[in-house]
Structure 1
Amino acid sequence: MTSVVPQSILDALTDVEMPRLPPEPAATEFVELGGLQIPVHRNGCVIVGSGAAGLRAAVELARRGGDVTILSQSAWGGTSACSGSDKQTLHTANTGDQGDDFRQMAKAIASGGAMDADIAYIEAVGSPRMMATLQFMGLPLPQDRLGATLRYKTDHDETGRATSCGPRTSRLMVKVLAEEALRLGIPLRNQTTATEILVDDGRAKGILAISARARSDSNPYGFALFLAPAVVLAGGGPGELYRDSVYPNGCFGVLGLAAAAGLDLVNLTESQFGISTRREGFPWNLSGTYVQVIPHIYSIDADGAEHHFLGDYFRTTQEMASNIFRKGYQWPFHATRMLEFKSSLIDLAIFRETQGGRRVFMDFNRNPEPVPADAPFSLDRLDADVSDYLRTSGATHPRPIDRLRHMNPLAIELYRRYKVDIAAEPLEFAVNNQHMNGGVAVDSWARTSLAGCYAVGEASGTHGVTRPGGAALNAGQVFGTRAAEHIAATGAKADLQGDACTLATAALNRAMATLRPHSPLNPQSLRSEIQARMSDHAGLICQPSAISLALADARALSARIAVEGLSIDRPAEAARALQWQQMALASEAVLTALEAYVSAGGGSRGARAICDPQGDSVPETSSGPLETFRFRSERAKDKDSQILIRRTDAGFSVATRQVGTLDETEKTFFERDWPDWLTGRIFDTAERV
């Protein structure tokens, strides 16, 4: 069976070529520090990260006359450009039918708890503008013949506010934003890794970085100074934190960078885990139509024997098949959906198989095997929501691969580009870490607790416990714009002068003290230790005692690094070593927040099940309860607060705060409020962070 969509269109939406970078401006200023000749660059704003959120901030600031430069560890190599799913989602206000209600949308965004209501409202009300400007720049979001954007439901979304350009939605966003950034002449300095935020008199003053192009005999590590009165952290989440991960390789994020600078961090207890292919091959999320076509899922043991393990969990073939389908829009693991034979029981089953040493596959050429002693699989025996969806989609074909080719041929094309033909062979997958919902604490203008420093995208901790699928892409665009607006209004004209020696000496000394040729610690050993600890003890299944032990080990590792440093084989490895130092700090930060939450009685929510023999909830299978996975339920009061942590000289301090609220009785009035906009008073608010 062939697709009704021409191959040329499939190719264009799958093979998204990124623009070529122009030559970088050469440094015109140098400073001698510690015997090294270090280039100095001065700008009005330096943005760390070249993903969709960072590019948005850069474009919006440049359009307002800002002098901005972008630092990128690997241009077009981060999560925005390299990650996705079957039809990667952008979550915005619904323009179809009768429009949308922004306050209701805000409530839906914040419904998982631990999220500020005003932040959620900003994301809701800013989404149409965000989407329209992306379309103006060329993002090919689909429309119907009357001009309404095509929509569908995604996880934690009961209204249907999701839209998509296909598997490469975020890459296409990066492409159109990058083209606009280059058109505006914004310098993008590639192969440049931020190693420390420069701070002076309580303000961010720029970034100490390592740049491959700055490497020379007089500067073998390639240190470079980027001085600016405004810094935007847009480098994404800590993708290297977990062994079991769907992040592209080398995605370190900026969480450790922010922690080292003493910024407030929030909601680090909240991440997302879900089924995906591992990054050892081609990392990709298996949400949406990959499972909505209901493939056969099975495992293989060490002897090569095949096991239909899901048949041991569900009571009927219809129940099992319907929940495989629901993984499409209930893709992230959620503790409560392990109960009552719901869709996250599948995640738990897969987790148990892989923990037992078996490999798990989905086969698109076979329908699911029946539950033992039950009727065989049939499209005529599915729950009503499932059968209605497939019938409306026209996906009533006999095999899963035919249903997938009809519903979403791009999902097949994408894997084929990476030498995996899911139309011909089974696909190996697992439950992996996918996204951090917490991060750097920010206010409604994306300001962090450090003056002059902003955070946008996955780097910022705005999401709360759960979020609708695609809300992260929306949030990065909305707050990238907000940060740019605030910088342009308050900081773009700030003094760019400053003594580079004074600003950078201490930071450079700290970096050099970490790079020690004879240390027994090295980036490889750190990677193995940190990733194993996080995946084994801070993944989707957590034990309180194991979290405490993991935190003690993480603290001990950070202390060892401070004393012994890290060894490298050649100067070119310096940036990676300092990133693993940051990742050790990020791991300690996450475990600190998680231990504080669990030790205070916090229960299971979002991505994690907190297992406890005294817990009040237990998953059941067709054979009975799984007592090993009995867990605590979430306490209602925890939805209204957030955990804040900050690194101090004595370690990480922990505090809680109530979530921000939104006064729904407050109404704007044009003549009264217009002067605040005209005079810039809207930017003067003293906000919480």
Structure 2
Amino acid sequence: MTTDFETTPVDGIASIPQNILDRLTRVDMPSVRGIDASNTCLEINTVSIPTYQCEALVLGSGAAGMRAAVELHRRGVDVLVASTGLFAGTSACSGSDKQTLYTASTDYKGDNFIQYAQSLCSGGAMDFSTAYVEAIGSNDAVGGLQFMGLPLPHDDQGAILRYQTDHDEAGRATSCGPRTSKLMVKVLFDEALTLGVRILPSTSGIRIVKETVDGEERVCGVIALHREESRNDFGLIFIQCEDLIIATGGPGELYRDSVYPHHCHGGLGLALEAGIELCNVTESQFGIGTPRTTFPWNLSGTYVQVMPRVYSVDHDGKEVNFLKRYYRSTREMVSNTFRKGYQWPFHSTRMLDYGSSLFDLAVYLECQAGRKVYLDFLRNPEPVNEGESFSLEDLDPDVRSYLENNEALYNLPIDRLRRMNPLAIELYRMHGTDLCREPLEFAMNNQHMNGGILINDWGQTSLAGCYAIGEAAGSHGVTRPGGAALNSGQVFGKRVAVAIKRSRLDKSAFEANQTTILQQICETLDDANAFVASANASARTPKDIKAEVQARMSDAAGIICSPDNVAEALVAARKLRREVEAQGLQVSSPSLVGQAFRWRHMVWVSEAVLTALDYYIQNGGGSRGARAICSPEGTRCPDASHEDLSRFRFVEEQAKDREEKLIVSREGENIRVHALPVDLTPEVKREFFEKGWGPYLIKEG
């Protein structure tokens, strides 16, 4: 649907020059020249496998991975970055209205780091010590980014401008606009290129190579596929390293209904295959966003705080004010539309008392019924009841005061949006949708996994020499303030660099076992050959596997779950994984074997998530951040003004579940889950200067 209606200029709205809008939305990324092809090869059965060497290998070139690379290089560690696609991951391609970076506030009275840490781990399943590390480290993280050129807005006293985000009661959020994380990637790449960090583009890790040193398994390299390598049919290469940092992002391809960029597979399957433990993979974030079939983007913040008209279109093309079936008054409906701005993720308890996640449930049900849902910024919301009308004078106090404080009490949503966030309009115009002329289709999508690879407070995984940072790391707990993940990636990017530098001072040099390496490369080469020359007529294609996995995860493990559906989905996922293991996958050419490796990993990831979710439910786990666990035995039920929602009666979260992480590991041909207690005690040991200075100097060398 389009319209010729155009808003007229509104007095009092400052006009931001187009060149400034362009600089913050049409971000020009630096030109990157990858390193020269290696001249060293391993010869295996007449096949040449090029080899590369480094002290530390970073898989992934997003904001977290590039921070680690910069910090490692500054510490004199020989680091190599290997990336599937430069500027193609979530850091460079995802965002929201004003994508958030959540750090300690310098505004007005400063911050309390213990309270900050408590806000990070308040949802449970996260150690207080990890949260405190992120809180303390946020000052250095943001300071380093500013030094590198990140244009965070600040007042004339130097305090960074702040606002409130989801799960945030203190207002620690800040932003450069919709492209905050892309700007982070840009300044980090600029710094890396200035420093001379080695980068290997078009390279995807497909297997972690391990060896046993003094009775302990540890990393010794990664087998990868390099799209520009022609010395063997598959582009297979081997990168030998002493330390590995997995910074490959989250499993965006796990769901059909997703706001991730395309081709984001993450590194959880890679880790599972290597025997590395995962944690909290039951915990994700879901929220409203534009569909993946168009331009995937989160619709948090000002997109909904300006209270656009929300409607659906039925099969006959009729526009329907569907929210009126859920809320009791126009004021209640529009005030909770506004609250989606800083309560963006779905949360089961916010379906209660006509809260903001009742909006999510309504959108979910419209989409399930096959209707398309839209935001219309050209018209105000339609009334809920006869005799009512939308009015800026009839809003809940928190909504009214927010609009007053931002001087955004304009008559139309588009003018309120232009006043509060013109970059939000510019972003969609850049991608072909002019919010000043046409509505915006949206839906419920998977956006972020809070779980991931199990790490300690230095980013170390359960495999010696292997670290995980960013969304690949499962350090975020059940709920987290919006933008805390961007901060976490920066904090742990530096911490893994410190840990690796210190470990190099402690450990003696060792020679990698070439026999072990050759054996694992041979096994991978055999797999690649089998994918292309599959003699099994029943072997599935990656495309088939993708469709089945994504449909099952979106339909059975989205915001609405039931014990029976999850159990059935797990049976089907396990059956698929066993089928893939027994019969393999098939691709039509050697250049496509990467798809086979990735989707073999993804069937394991899908089974791992469903195994953990089933374990959680079967042990009495209830509804919390990611999902509502619906059951007739549930104790809470959302209400709606004109809809029977009794089928969404849900089981409440148990307090005990906040006190543990769910650990997931691959053991042979099975997935094992067990609970690990977390320490939520808000205690911080103070170190005195003279006592701590000497040990610090020794650790740093």
TM-score in terms of structure 1 length: 0.97
- 8 Å CA contact retained: 1:31, 1:500: no
Question: How large is the RMSD of aligned CA atoms in angstroms?
Answer: 1.4
- 8 Å CA contact retained: 1:615, 1:630: yes
- 8 Å CA contact retained: 2:659, 2:680: no
- 1:665: Cα distance to partner? 5.8
Structure 2 counterpart of 1:314, one-letter code: Y
Matched ranges for 1:272-671 at <5 A: 272-491=285-504, 495=509, 497-510=511-524, 512-513=526-527, 515-518=531-534, 519=536, 520-623=539-642, 625-662=644-681, 664=683, 666-671=685-690
Q: Deviations over 1:200-245 (max 9, x none)?
A: 11001110000012223xx100100000010000000000000000
- 8 Å CA contact retained: 1:225, 1:504: no
Q: 1:400 to 1:496 in 2, by over 3 A?
A: farther
Residue 43 of structure 2: SS of its match in structure 1? strand
Matched ranges for 1:121-132 at <5 A: 121-132=132-143
Residue 621 of structure 1: SS of its match in structure 2? coil
Q: 1:23 to 1:663 in 2, by over 3 A?
A: closer
Which stretches of structure 1, 4 residues or longer, exceed 4 Å deviation after superposition?
none
- 1:302: Cα distance to partner? 1.5
- 8 Å CA contact retained: 2:211, 2:512: no
- C-alpha distance in structure 2 between counterparts of 1:515 and 1:199, whole Å: 23
Report the more deviating stretch, 517-526 or 552-561. Answer: 517-526
- C-alpha distance in structure 1 between counterparts of 2:197 and 2:585, whole Å: 35
The answer to whether residue 156 in structure 2 is matched with residue 141 in structure 1 is no
- 8 Å CA contact retained: 2:114, 2:682: no
Q: Deviations over 1:438-496 (max 9, x none)?
A: 00000011000000000000000000000000000000000010001110111388647
Residue 311 of structure 1: SS of its match in structure 2? helix
Structure 1 counterpart of 2:592, one-letter code: E
- 1:167: Cα distance to partner? 0.3
- 1:521: Cα distance to partner? 0.6
- 1:35: Cα distance to partner? 3.3
- 8 Å CA contact retained: 1:198, 1:504: no
Who is 1:7 aligned against?
18
Who is 1:206 aligned against?
221
- 8 Å CA contact retained: 1:48, 1:72: yes
- 1:280: Cα distance to partner? 1.1
Residue 228 of structure 2: SS of its match in structure 1? helix
Who is 2:128 aligned against?
117
Who is 1:241 aligned against?
254
- 8 Å CA contact retained: 2:532, 2:593: no
- 8 Å CA contact retained: 2:34, 2:199: no
Who is 1:686 aligned against?
none
Matched ranges for 1:8-47 at <5 A: 8-47=19-58
Report the more deviating stretch, 542-551 or 435-444. Answer: 542-551
- C-alpha distance in structure 1 between counterparts of 2:686 and 2:80, whole Å: 38
Structure 1 counterpart of 2:398, one-letter code: D
The answer to whether residue 268 in structure 2 is matched with residue 255 in structure 1 is yes
- 1:374: Cα distance to partner? 4.9
Who is 1:177 aligned against?
188
Q: 1:624 to 1:424 in 2, by over 3 A?
A: closer
Structure 2 counterpart of 1:582, one-letter code: H
Who is 1:100 aligned against?
111
- 8 Å CA contact retained: 1:230, 1:491: no
- C-alpha distance in structure 2 between counterparts of 1:240 and 1:290, whole Å: 25
- 8 Å CA contact retained: 2:282, 2:609: yes
Q: 1:559 to 1:291 in 2, by over 3 A?
A: same
Structure 2 counterpart of 1:488, one-letter code: K
- 1:506: Cα distance to partner? 2.4
- C-alpha distance in structure 2 between counterparts of 1:434 and 1:281, whole Å: 15
- C-alpha distance in structure 2 between counterparts of 1:265 and 1:183, whole Å: 35
- 1:653: Cα distance to partner? 1.2
Structure 2 counterpart of 1:527, one-letter code: K
Q: 1:207 to 1:322 in 2, by over 3 A?
A: same
Who is 2:3 aligned against?
none
- 1:662: Cα distance to partner? 4.9
Structure 2 counterpart of 1:589, one-letter code: A
- 8 Å CA contact retained: 1:229, 1:494: no
Identity, in percent, stands at 51
Structure 1 regions of 5+ residues with no counterpart? 684-689
- 8 Å CA contact retained: 2:549, 2:606: yes
- C-alpha distance in structure 1 between counterparts of 2:41 and 2:14, whole Å: 58
Structure 1 counterpart of 2:392, one-letter code: L
- C-alpha distance in structure 1 between counterparts of 2:147 and 2:203, whole Å: 30
Q: Deviations over 1:130-162 (max 9, x none)?
A: 000100000000000111000000000010000
- 1:679: Cα distance to partner? 1.4
- 8 Å CA contact retained: 2:34, 2:201: no
Structure 2 counterpart of 1:64, one-letter code: R
- 8 Å CA contact retained: 1:318, 1:382: yes
Structure 1 counterpart of 2:495, one-letter code: R
- 1:499: Cα distance to partner? 4.4
- C-alpha distance in structure 2 between counterparts of 1:402 and 1:235, whole Å: 39
Residue 165 of structure 1: SS of its match in structure 2? coil
Residue 568 of structure 2: SS of its match in structure 1? helix
- C-alpha distance in structure 2 between counterparts of 1:214 and 1:515, whole Å: 19
Residue 447 of structure 2: SS of its match in structure 1? strand
Q: 1:34 to 1:564 in 2, by over 3 A?
A: farther
- 1:516: Cα distance to partner? 4.3
- 8 Å CA contact retained: 1:208, 1:508: no
Structure 2 counterpart of 1:591, one-letter code: L
Structure 1 counterpart of 2:92, one-letter code: A
Q: Deviations over 1:399-419 (max 9, x none)?
A: 100110110000000011111
Q: 1:560 to 1:538 in 2, by over 3 A?
A: same
- C-alpha distance in structure 1 between counterparts of 2:629 and 2:289, whole Å: 22
TM-score in terms of structure 2 length: 0.95
Q: 1:65 to 1:665 in 2, by over 3 A?
A: closer
- 8 Å CA contact retained: 2:209, 2:520: no
Q: Deviations over 1:96-138 (max 9, x none)?
A: 1111010110001111111111000000000011000100000
Report the more deviating stretch, 31-40 or 328-337. Answer: 31-40
Q: Deviations over 1:292-338 (max 9, x none)?
A: 00001111111111111000000000000000000000000000000
- C-alpha distance in structure 1 between counterparts of 2:230 and 2:381, whole Å: 56
- C-alpha distance in structure 2 between counterparts of 1:663 and 1:15, whole Å: 43
Report the more deviating stretch, 72-81 or 646-655. Answer: 646-655
